[in-house]
């Protein structure tokens, strides 16, 4: 015979009392675990939503960036690096560049540690007659991109025009009825049309592109260029242009920089605006979720302790009822030699047993409520995600402690009962 066996026998005998105390303990644990699981589910959902928002922001940014990249390719240039003595009035009014600078400038730029420019295209450009076809065109000579040495190679935005080939703008192609593969003679030199551009609505429509060296020869400008086109500069904002200007001025003193392609800038600004709005939406979502979380936490912070206190009081009262029911039993146990600590152990042992069972049942109940009632879909995956062994262990420790504390005073009263008084009364 042992105290534990005595406890088990009594539990079976007085099932109602046992089940009521167990229910109180289970409710206390379920309430706590339920609240914790719901808050945890809410946390996970918040993280998911914010991650989703971030992905949307990234995707929007990427899509716009890609779009802008393409549009920049079509639109031409972002930055023109021009000889220092070039009259910009000439460029703005006539669209031509009469001053030159050494072609070597582009190499110097490419070999520098420039960070504000991504693609470099040296070019010569001039309004010329196409005597064989009796038409005036803008001749652009380009040798393709000069790779920036200290960078990882980037995919070129513009393919170079190979020697002996010519790319023609929409108006030139239309006026001269040219198509891809046609052989033409331009200023005494034979070219094959390698590409015809669709209408762009800019001066590109009246332009023909040939290889840089051939253009230099045609224009008598060997080893000279009119401009360096810097594409995809980090010039989405106005102040960035100043940065680019400063950086280039240090490498190529005596040159001047001109921003081109306002539509590209507008698109870049639009991109920035879209990105900013997406980021603001994400921030608003973050604030809203945080407020909801705070409200739930505040609610749980009031409700959970109240329920736990109510359950603890219930456990204490039910244990007191149990002590009163067992007055005669306590008297006889004391008479046959049980010490007060052993009497206390009988009642506290029962409470701990109930606490342990209540922890298991309460955890299960609270967890199911948390999984089923949370913001995440009720599924096995959600359960796996939300299950926290540390919480289960804590429940298995705290619930017996709760019922032990709640039934401490009734157990003390039982232990301090005077057996003589009890035996005289019953």
Partner 1 sequence: MLLDADNISKTYRGSVREVRALENVSVAVDAGEFVAVCGPSGCGKTTLLLVAGGLLAPDGGTVQIGGKDPYAIPANERALFRGANVGFVFQQFHLIPYLSVIENVLAPAIAVGGEDRRERAEHLISHFGMTDRMHHLPGQLSTGERQRAALARALLNKPKLLLADEPTGNLDQENAEAVLKYLAEFAADGGGVLMVSHDDAAVQFAQRSVRIHAGQLVTA
- Where does this chain bind partner 1 (CB under 8 A)? 1-3, 5-6, 9-10, 12-14, 328-329, 331-342, 419-420, 423-424, 426
Buried b (16+ CB within 10 A) or exposed e, 345-362: bbbbbbbbbbbbbbbbbb
Q: Compute the least distance from the CB of residue 316 to partner 1, in Å.
A: 23
Indicate the residue among 6 and 312 with the shorter CB distance to partner 1. Answer: 6
Residue closer to partner 1 by CB (options 126, 327) is: 327
Compare residues 20 and 219 and give the one whose CB is closer to partner 1: 20
Minimum CB distance to partner 1, residue 15 (Å): 11
Contacts of 46 (CB under 8 A, 6+ apart): 289, 290, 293
Comparing CB distances to partner 1, the nearer of 10 and 171 is 10
Least gap, CB of 412 to partner 1 (angstroms):
14
Considering the complex, what minimum distance in angstroms separates the CB of residue 378 from partner 1? 42
Listing DSSP states for 224-256 in one string gives EESEEEEES-S-SSHHHHHHHHHHHHHHSTTEE
**Smallest distance, partner 1 to C-beta of residue 351, A:** 18
Tell the smallest beta-carbon distance from residue 344 to partner 1 (Å). Answer: 12
CA-closest candidate to residue 416, choices 322, 310, 327, 291: 327
Q: Is the dihedral of CA 403, 405, 409, 413 positive or negative?
A: positive
Instruction: Classify 19 as helix, strand or coil.
Output: helix
- SS (HEC) of 334-383: HHCCCCHHHHHHHHHHHHHHHHHHHHHHHHHHHHHHHHHHCCCCCCHHHH
Cβ nearer to partner 1, comparing 301 with 420: 420
Minimum CB separation of residue 337 from partner 1 in Å reads 2
Give me the least distance between CB of 22 and partner 1, in Å please. Answer: 17
Q: Name which of 6 and 235 has its Cβ closer to partner 1.
A: 6
In this complex, which beta carbon is closest to partner 1, that of residue 141 or of residue 349?
Answer: 349
Q: What is the DSSP string of 187-237?
A: TTEEEEEEEEPPP-SSGGGGEEEEEHHHHHHHHT-TTEESEEEEES-S-SS
Closest separation between CB of residue 357 and partner 1, Å?
19
Maximum pairwise Cα distance, the chain: 136
Which CB, 190 or 339, lies closer to partner 1? 339
In the bound complex, what is the minimum distance in angstroms from residue 363's beta carbon to partner 1? 30
> In sequence order, which residues have a C-beta less than 8 Å from that of residue 94 and are 6 or more positions away?
127
Return phi, psi of residue 102, to 5°.
Answer: -65, 140
CB of 405 to partner 1, least distance (A): 24
Which residues are paired to 128 by β-bridges?
137
Q: Which is nearer to partner 1, 32 or 422 (CB)?
A: 422
Shortest CA distance to 404 belongs to which of 15, 5, 34, 28? 28
Of 80 and 353, which CB lies nearer to partner 1 in the complex structure? 353
The nearer residue to partner 1, 3 or 158, going by C-beta atoms, is 3
By CB neighbour count within 10 A (0-12 exposed, 13-18 middle, 19+ buried), where does 420 fall?
exposed
How many Å apart are CA 368 and CA 320, to the nearest integer?
32
Q: Which long-range contacts (CB under 8 A, 24 or more apart) does 353-357 make?
A: 353/7, 353/11, 354/18, 354/21, 354/22, 354/25, 354/315, 354/403, 355/25, 355/399, 355/400, 355/401, 355/402, 355/403, 355/404, 356/396, 356/399, 356/400, 357/22, 357/25, 357/26
């Amino acid at each position: 015979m042992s105290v534990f066996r005595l406890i088990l026998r009594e539990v079976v005998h007085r099932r109602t009392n046992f089940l009521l105390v167990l229910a109180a303990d289970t409710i206390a644990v379920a309430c706590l675990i339920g609240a914790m699981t719901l808050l945890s589910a809410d946390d996970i959902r918040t993280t998911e939503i914010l991650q989703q928002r971030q992905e949307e922001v990234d995707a929007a940014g990427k899509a716009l960036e890609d779009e802008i990249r393409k549009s920049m390719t079509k639109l031409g240039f972002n930055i023109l690096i021009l000889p220092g003595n070039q009259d910009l009035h000439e460029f703005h009014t006539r669209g031509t560049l009469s001053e030159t600078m050494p072609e070597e400038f582009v190499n110097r730029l490419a070999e520098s540690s420039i960070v504000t420019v991504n693609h470099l295209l040296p070019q010569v450009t001039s309004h010329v007659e196409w005597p064989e076809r009796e038409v005036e065109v803008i001749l652009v000579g380009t040798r393709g991109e000069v790779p920036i040495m200290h960078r990882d190679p980037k995919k070129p935005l513009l393919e170079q025009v190979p020697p002996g080939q010519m790319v023609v703008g929409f108006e030139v192609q239309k006026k001269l009825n040219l198509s891809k593969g046609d052989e033409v003679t331009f200023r005494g030199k034979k070219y094959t049309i390698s590409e015809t551009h669709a209408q762009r609505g800019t001066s590109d429509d009246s332009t023909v592109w040939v290889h840089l060296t051939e253009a230099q020869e045609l224009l008598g400008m060997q080893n000279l260029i009119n401009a360096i086109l810097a594409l995809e500069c980090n010039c989405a904002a106005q102040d960035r242009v100043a940065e680019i200007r400063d950086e280039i001025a240090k490498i190529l003193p005596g040159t001047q920089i001109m921003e081109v392609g306002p539509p590209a800038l507008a698109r870049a600004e639009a991109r920035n605006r879209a990105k900013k709005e997406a980021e603001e939406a994400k921030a608003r979502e973050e604030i809203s979720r945080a407020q909801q979380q705070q409200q739930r936490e505040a609610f749980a912070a009031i409700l959970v302790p109240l329920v736990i206190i109510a359950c603890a009081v219930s456990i204490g009262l039910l244990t007191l009822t149990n002590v009163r029911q067992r007055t005669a039993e306590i008297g006889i146990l004391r008479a046959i030699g049980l010490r007060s600590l052993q009497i206390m152990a009988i009642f506290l042992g029962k409470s701990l047993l109930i606490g342990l069972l209540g922890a298991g049942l309460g955890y299960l109940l609270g967890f199911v409520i948390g999984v089923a009632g949370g913001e995440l879909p009720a599924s096995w995956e959600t359960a796996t995600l939300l299950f926290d062994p540390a919480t289960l262990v804590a429940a298995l420790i705290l619930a017996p402690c709760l019922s032990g504390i709640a039934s401490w005073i009734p157990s003390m009263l039982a232990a301090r009962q005077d057996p003589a008084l009890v035996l005289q009364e019953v």
